[in-house]
Structure 1
Amino acid sequence: MSKIRITKQFNFETGHALYGYDGKCKNVHGHSYKLAVTVIGSPITDTNNVKYGMVIDFGDLKKIVKEEIVDVFDHATVFNKNTPHIELAKELSDRGHNVILVDYQPTSENMVVDFAAKIKSRLPENIQLFSLKLQETESSYAEWYASDN
């Protein structure tokens, strides 16, 4: 049976700051992220299956990515838990803001690795994560490929 790749795209708004960085991104700022999730598998051949002909229902993929990534990171501010901004993070959190503390520098590169692990853990056995593309700005993005990892 043929292997087919399907892709679903997502959008979310997230703020972050890169502690120790020597440029503007050391300041708290935000991005309108675009995330393209590509999975690979064989279309279902059982004609009695309601998902006949699908690799995975786009709605099922959407549910996974929304629960693991979009609903968590949308309109949140992400800080490395070791940042000197920790007081700011606590203040924002105390005021009801959605603050996420991660154990990595919240660059697009590190976020895409984190997202890949989260999505892979939720996919059905017969579906593999093929790639992710996390676009931070109109001209800048990070990509993760299973074949490289």
Structure 2
Amino acid sequence: MGTIRITKQFSFETGHALYGYDGKCRNVHGHSYKLSVTVIGNPIEDSSHVKFGMVIDFSDLKKIVKEEIVDVFDHATVFNKNTPHVELAKELSQRGHNVLLVDYQPTSEMMVIDFAEKIKARLPKNITLHSLKLQETETSYAEWFAHDN
């Protein structure tokens, strides 16, 4: 058998603000993100194995991405913890909002790098993260490819 890539798609709603940015995105706003996760590996060749013919069970990949990304970021507001937005984050948290403070500017580019590290850490040893595509709007997205990193 050959090496195969499989992709699973996810969606989630997340708010953010870009501190220091010179455009509208400096304001708190949100996106309906679409995340495509592509892994690469060889289908299981053992015909007695319950996952025979699969690179990874889509439900196993879904569990990883849901736990690491979707369940964490969905309906959360993300701020860089090293900006004055921390005061706003504290206020929102005190009012019961789901707020994430991250070590980076929460752009699609930086989020996709963060997501790649989290997903890679959870994949079985025989599966490699090939690429991620994080679509922020209908016409804008950031991509991460293992061969570039």
Please give the range of the TM-score, normalised by the shorter of the 2 chains: over 0.9
1:69 lines up with 2:58 in the alignment: no
What's the C-alpha RMSD, in Å, of the aligned pairs?
Answer: 0.4
Q: CA deviation at 1:87?
A: 1.1
1:60-99 alignment runs, 5 A limit:
60-99=60-99
Rounded to whole Å, the distance in 2 between the matches of 1:50 and 1:121 is 24
1:5-16 alignment runs, 5 A limit:
5-16=5-16
Give the match for residue 115 of structure 2: 115
Q: CA deviation at 1:86?
A: 1.2
Sequence identity of aligned pairs in percent?
Answer: 83
Give the structure-1-normalised TM-score. Answer: 0.99
Across the two proteins, how many residue pairs are aligned to each other?
149
Give the match for residue 31 of structure 1: 31
- Structure 1 residues not aligned, in runs of 5+: none
Rounded to whole Å, the distance in 1 between the matches of 2:29 and 2:148 is 30
The secondary structure found in structure 1 opposite 2:122 is coil
* Runs of 4+ residues over 4 Å off in structure 1: none
The secondary structure found in structure 2 opposite 1:106 is coil
Give the match for residue 57 of structure 1: 57
Give the match for residue 19 of structure 1: 19
Letter in 1 for 2:95: R
Give the structure-2-normalised TM-score. Answer: 0.99
Q: CA deviation at 1:83?
A: 1.5
Q: CA deviation at 1:13?
A: 0.1
Letter in 2 for 1:31: H
Letter in 1 for 2:114: D
Rounded to whole Å, the distance in 1 between the matches of 2:19 and 2:83 is 6
